[in-house]
Amino acid sequence: MSSQSPLAHSTLRGQQSDLRLFCTFVTDARYGWAAACLEEFGRAPVQVCHDWNTADHVADYEGRPGRRALTYDELQALFDAADERVESIRRRGRKGVLSAWRDAVLLKAVYAYGTRRRETAMLDLHDLRHNPRAKAYGRFGALEVRFGKASRGSPPKRRTVLTVPEMDWVVPLLTEWTAEVRPGFGVGGHPALWVTERCGRISLRRLDEVFSLVRDLAGLPAELELHCLRHTYITHLIEFGYPERFVQDQVGHRYASTTAMYTWVSDEYRNRLLEDSLRRRAERAATRVGRGAR
């Protein structure tokens, strides 16, 4: 139907592959299905999926082009817009200050830990963990993700995301949220970390709405979506100098190639690497000249 969102290329290709495998099975003479159908119905099943009418796997990355990492300026604009929304509602004396406050902290936390939508929505208070190696962060030294993206036929994957020093600004934000702001929703003993005005767990749809609202207030491109903060997190960890294996474990990717697809390093970062390489090369050349002079 025209009202439905178009399928991603990878999803379409996967469904066609399943159909092709099924047709291969029912048309294989070794199983007798074709002969049985011919005898019973007068017609035999045939293969309908061919190279000319199915989607090809011709690119390493099949994601949507709009999913990219935000630049540092875009990220700052997003966070500034979220904070200004809180102040604007407070100045006008309107309802919704707590919700806007939640939204501002939530977006920053999604970036600071690189979580997916469902992972974010399903977080509970007890998923905030101590890290013995980072005692200064208290109960916000790590985040236990219990509803990670599952492989086909498997339960949700679990992982522990460590709070990195470059993003430890999220610690006082989460401290304020859990100790002062969240209780204002009157949720009582509800376990969810991110709660709604109706004392329930925030929904995936609401997460998308929050990002879209703040994105538009910040004047950012409409093709950006919440998942772009995960791209940004991965990219920035790489730019901060963390090993690829560490980044892979932080975000819960099974393969390093998947992490690589999420990485959109900036021109500034690449130029810095180039400058460092040229400097080391010049230093080695100078050393060789010095040895020759002696």
Verdict on whether the full-model pTM lies above 0.95: no
DSSP helix/strand/coil, 161: strand
More confident residue, 211 or 155: 211
86 close to 217: Cβ distance less than 8 angstroms: no
224 close to 70: Cβ distance less than 8 angstroms: yes
Q: Could you give the C-alpha distances from 47 to 29, 33, 40, in angstroms and in order?
A: 13, 13, 19
Residue 4 within a domain: no
Kindly state the helix (H) or strand (E) to which residue 129 belongs, with its residue range: strand 128-129
**Spatial distance between the Cα atoms of 21 and 9, rounded to a whole number of angstroms:** 18
Residue 279 within a domain: no
> Strand order in 142-148's β-sheet?
128-129, 142-148, 157-162
pLDDT in tens, 106-128: 999 999 999 999 999 999 999 99
Residue 284 within a domain: no
Domain coverage including residue 48: 9-53
**94 pLDDT exceeds 70?**
yes
CATH at residue 122: 1.10.443.10
Q: What is the DSSP string of 12-67?
A: HHHHHHHHHHHHHHHH-GGGTHHHHHHHHHS--------GGGS-----S--S-TT-
27 and 85 belong to one structural domain: no
Residue 2 within a domain: no
Structural domain tally of the chain? 2
92 and 150 belong to one structural domain: yes
Residue 66 within a domain: no
113 and 219 belong to one structural domain: yes
**223 pLDDT exceeds 60?**
yes
pLDDT in tens, 250-278: 999 887 777 777 766 666 666 666 777 77
111 and 185 belong to one structural domain: yes
Residue 161 within a domain: yes
Residue 3 within a domain: no
